[in-house]
Structure 1
Amino acid sequence: MKQILSLTEAQYPIDSYAELHPIMNAAAAHYKEKAKVFETGLQRLDEFGIRRTFHGFYYISHYYPLRAMSEISGQRAKEILSEMAGSTFEVYLHYPFCEQLCSFCHFHKKITSLDNVERRETEVIDTLIAELQLNTQIMGQRIKARSLQLGGGTPSLMTNQGLVRLLKACEKYLDIQSDAEIKTEIYPKHYDENYLREKLRILKSFGFTDLVIDLESGNQKTLDFIQRKNSSLDDYLRLVEICIEEGFTSFITALMAGLPYETYDSMYSTVETLSEIKELSVINVFPTIMRESDPISKKLELNPEAFNDSSTRANMWLMARMALHDKGFIDGPISYLHRPAIRPEQQADKFECVNLIGFGPSSFGYLNGPHNDWAGQYFNFCSTEEHRKRINEGYPAIWRIGQYDNEERARRKIIFGLANVKTENLLAIEKNYNVSIDKIMGKTLNALHSLDLIELDKSIHGIRFTDQGLARLEEITYYFYSKFAKDKCDEIPDTRDENYKWLINQHYAVTVRREDRLRFEKYEVSMSNNFMEKLRY
């Protein structure tokens, strides 16, 4: 039995649930053994501070992370957005309502019953439409959209009449490219079939190309525990079947590896079932995230016997990836396993530093200055009330932004390019941003190269993660951060701060313990700054 030390220094005794249950499926046993051998090999990195901890893992989605961003005024937000006139964007709209609180979820949501959703969503949809209109006015033209995603929350909870109203506003205020990827999320549960088919026909008529149906787990005991009792694998499969009947041919799903009560057998069985659906183009596999601000961590205190530790969760992630690789799926971006002929364009493009504009509370975006002299990651107000207030005042709903110079832009390009599971040309980055990679992160790159976590491709003056590097991508990413960004991540907000909830929940970045940071930095400082010479000669 292990003592799991949490970020708040509380201790929970835990035996990893899956390790206590014999594996009955021979294929599951085979992949589990391969994953365990691989994961054991990663333990050598612990002494260098590259360590997977119980609460530490979080997949990188922002640079800067939220706590490294600064609050800005409505007027400043308006000035920034006006500079972006004529730019093309990935577009995201956030619908915050959910029917139940999934215990693993930390995204912004409001719980509502089916009886109340129509009444409650009206004001939210009104504000989304007003925000679309306002941003169009600020930029002086319809917003050019290279992709569109309606996410949440649970956007399939939106009433059909609300959906029609919102999509009409999108047609009015967005100039959507003819080849745009357009997708939304549908929760896998039992639906009134006539109502569901009406919704699907609305989506099909608008031009939606992909449906995201996140299963999370095919194990019913797991689904019940994480508060998805109204969902099942059978519901998922029937939903996909109906969507196919209505003309949809491309689906995306997600699995959380190592959720409570998940076993190696149940995980492998789900992967096997999903891989046989030929219309399923992308299977996202993420290790279960344990953030202490999430409801799942509260359940840990009450039911530690249900949980899997960080090593088991990592093994299940590796097992699922290995099995999917053998079935022909390939990586890109990290944790997005897709069929070779189908690249997840919108997700992959997010890793290429293209413009992203978010609408709705807690939406985020990324902006490139039109003169190639600045860029910034931003976050909208997370509270629906604060978000609505800013829009009603006539200002964009941007709450915080991390606006930075070319050195930080180069740093971000490397971070996200490597996470896109590709080779990143460092000479091209130096030229594009007029920076010195050796100055920015020469020591870091030499440290990672010496540990066999990155490898060189001299033919294109580039680097990419090794397989072991990909398996510790999140922790490595933290060490790619600038000192400023790392320091901000390490500062835990004061609980009396009125924004404490958001600064914890929406801070999408890995947590690294102080002693681990010191270990890596001690190793890093012993390295030379000269890394680029390895790619030039």
Structure 2
Amino acid sequence: MHENIPFPEFQEVAAEAEAALRELDLADLSTAGILQPVENYYLIGTYPPLKAMEEIRGEDFLSGVGRNCSVYLHIPFCEQRCTFCHFAKEILPQQTRVERYLQALVKEMEIARGHIGRPTARTVYFGGGTPSYLSADQIRRVFGSLRETIDIAPDAEITYELHPSVIDAPDYEERLDALAAAGVNRWVFGVQSMDDRILAKLNRGHTAADVQRLLKMLDDRDATNVSVDLIFGLPYQTMENWYSSIRSLVECGVEKFNIFPLMFKQADPISAHYRKNPEIFPDARGRLLMHFATEAIMKRLGFRRGPLFYYARADTHSQQQEDKYDSIEDINLLPFGVSGFGYVDQVQYYNDCSLDGYMASVESGKLPVWRGSRLPEEERMRRTLMFSLRSGGVDRDAYAARFGADPLERFRADLAPFLDRGLLELDGRVIRATDRGAPFVDSIALHLVSDDVRGRIREANSRIVDVKRDPLDRYDYSPIERDPVAATVPARRAGRTALPVVL
């Protein structure tokens, strides 16, 4: 860490967090639907969400991908099932299945070439799953195929997710070397906590010591652009061990963090843990304290927040995230692999979320696009507001130039509850979230959802009979019209409302 900035003591951080929390009227925020129930929280990363999409053909829109794009590749393999993970994955598959998937991934890129031309990638992101599950040879092959399909800009940000447990693989150093040789210049790995008791409860398959070993291995390779993920709201988490997790990582030299609240999905094991023992999880007040404690630490140490949940000492945390939230109308998101979701030519879409379905589709020579929705201008206006408020804010003049309307005038009724409570502010010609409003940006997004999108989601919900296995519910990463994890399908059909917020 920077030697001239001492790490603040726990008592100082706790006091600042309590002071920030006292500025909020939690009862009022709960009544207004701004403070969401812990078990119903989820960030809005796609709009419209999966349940509001219909069947769509990739051939009908992929040719509209812009000259500049961001690329995402999904590697769905892991060594263990983390209790909170809801993304498409398989645990310890046979190598023949891994090879079949990689062949499909390469073929998908080959098929896509005939539709997308040859756009230039400003950013490339390998996520999962556990991308570092792949061997060095497999890494080289996938990167080789990608470079045959996409021009990667010389200064492109190329991100690869790692998992600390893989450092025990006998060829792990070779894997790191292969990634560096392929051009990876941003390294991301999930830590979630530096408390071994919490890590065991999450079935993470690594310890705090493993995280320190991986950081040392990256440092030995002069990897300077390293970001780690942490989650607050986890079982057995307290203000003390949350503070200790951040402190230990900063003292290891970490200068970029993605710090976000725990999110529940019906199909995730952690949801069953919550239903059985909610008392071991921080409540809404505890989660807010952890958020404000994070803010206090990061500000004191000179970290910048942006987009929401991302903190960095550098001016830019992640170009990929900033492009997604600030520039996606101009820099489209192009996914490859099972369950990848993207935005191309004003179409929000998903690839097939079933590994077998994805591979079968590609092997038959078809694009694996599953569902999507072309956004009319009204929905694009809403989407731009939702996403921009997560990052740099909404420039009213730029917004009006694109859509012909002032966002403050067009959506005044939706934004008023947040402006009136000081959760949003007008900074010159920019609408942005305040420090006190940052934890509620996804609630702002919920207020901006159109009646049409809500109606389509409700209609999809009415057809779902198994909320744990139906792919529409399992892979719908959205809180819109979603039941709390304790609800049941019969309860939904009876019109049950969300459970109350515990303050």
2:71–2:121 contact (8 Å) kept in structure 1: yes
Computed over aligned residues only, the root mean square deviation of the Cα atoms, in angstroms, reads 2.4
Which residue matches 2:343? 366
Which residue matches 1:191? 167
- The aligned runs of 1:225-374 (5 Å cut-off) are 225-228=201-204, 230-278=205-253, 280-352=254-326, 353=328, 354-367=331-344, 369=345
Match 1:464 to one of 423, 432, 438: 432
How far apart in 1 are the matches of 2:291 and 2:143? 37
Question: Are positions 1:88 and 2:65 aligned together?
Answer: no
SS at 2:307 equivalent: coil
SS at 2:412 equivalent: helix
- The aligned runs of 1:85-484 (5 Å cut-off) are 87-112=67-92, 116=94, 118-139=95-116, 141-189=117-165, 191-192=167-168, 195-228=171-204, 230-278=205-253, 280-352=254-326, 353=328, 354-367=331-344, 369=345, 375-420=346-391, 422-435=392-405, 437=407, 440-458=410-428, 461-484=429-452
Instruction: Call closer, same or farther: CA 1:104–1:254 in 2, change over 3 Å.
Output: same
How far apart in 1 are the matches of 2:148 and 2:316? 30
Task: Report the more deviating stretch, 34-43 or 424-433.
Answer: 34-43
TM-score by length of 1: 0.83
Which residue matches 1:57? 41
Which residue matches 2:14? 32
TM-fit CA distance, 1:268: 0.5
How far apart in 1 are the matches of 2:68 and 2:8? 50
TM-fit CA distance, 1:493: 4.9
How far apart in 2 are the matches of 1:265 and 1:481? 37
Task: Structure 2 unaligned segments of length 5 or more: list them.
Answer: 1-6, 484-494, 499-503
Which residue matches 1:485? 453
TM-fit CA distance, 1:314: 2.5
Instruction: Call closer, same or farther: CA 1:232–1:499 in 2, change over 3 Å.
Output: closer
Instruction: Call closer, same or farther: CA 1:504–1:39 in 2, change over 3 Å.
Output: farther
SS at 1:132 equivalent: helix
TM-fit CA distance, 1:442: 2.6
TM-fit CA distance, 1:489: 4.4
Which residue matches 1:529? none
Deviations 1:380-412 (A, max 9, x none): 110011112222333321111121122221221
Task: Report the more deviating stretch, 310-319 or 57-66.
Answer: 310-319
Instruction: Call closer, same or farther: CA 1:390–1:143 in 2, change over 3 Å.
Output: farther
SS at 1:445 equivalent: helix
Deviations 1:41-83 (A, max 9, x none): 14132222212202111112011111111122xxx32121123
1:275–1:324 contact (8 Å) kept in structure 2: no
Which residue matches 2:490? none
TM-fit CA distance, 1:377: 1.2
TM-fit CA distance, 1:337: 0.8
- Corresponding letter in the other structure for 2:398: A
Instruction: Call closer, same or farther: CA 1:106–1:488 in 2, change over 3 Å.
Output: same
How far apart in 2 are the matches of 1:314 and 1:442? 27
Identity of aligned residues (%): 30
Instruction: Call closer, same or farther: CA 1:42–1:34 in 2, change over 3 Å.
Output: farther
1:69–1:402 contact (8 Å) kept in structure 2: yes
SS at 1:449 equivalent: helix
1:96–1:361 contact (8 Å) kept in structure 2: yes
Instruction: Call closer, same or farther: CA 1:221–1:109 in 2, change over 3 Å.
Output: same
TM-score by length of 2: 0.88
Deviations 1:455-488 (A, max 9, x none): 1123xx2211122221211112100121222334
How far apart in 2 are the matches of 1:272 and 1:110? 33
TM-fit CA distance, 1:146: 1.2
Instruction: Call closer, same or farther: CA 1:381–1:393 in 2, change over 3 Å.
Output: same
SS at 2:470 equivalent: helix
> Which consecutive aligned stretches of 4+ in structure 1 deviate over 6 angstroms post-superposition?
512-517
How far apart in 1 are the matches of 2:140 and 2:386? 39
Instruction: Call closer, same or farther: CA 1:341–1:450 in 2, change over 3 Å.
Output: closer
TM-fit CA distance, 1:336: 0.3
Which residue matches 1:372? none
- Corresponding letter in the other structure for 2:464: T
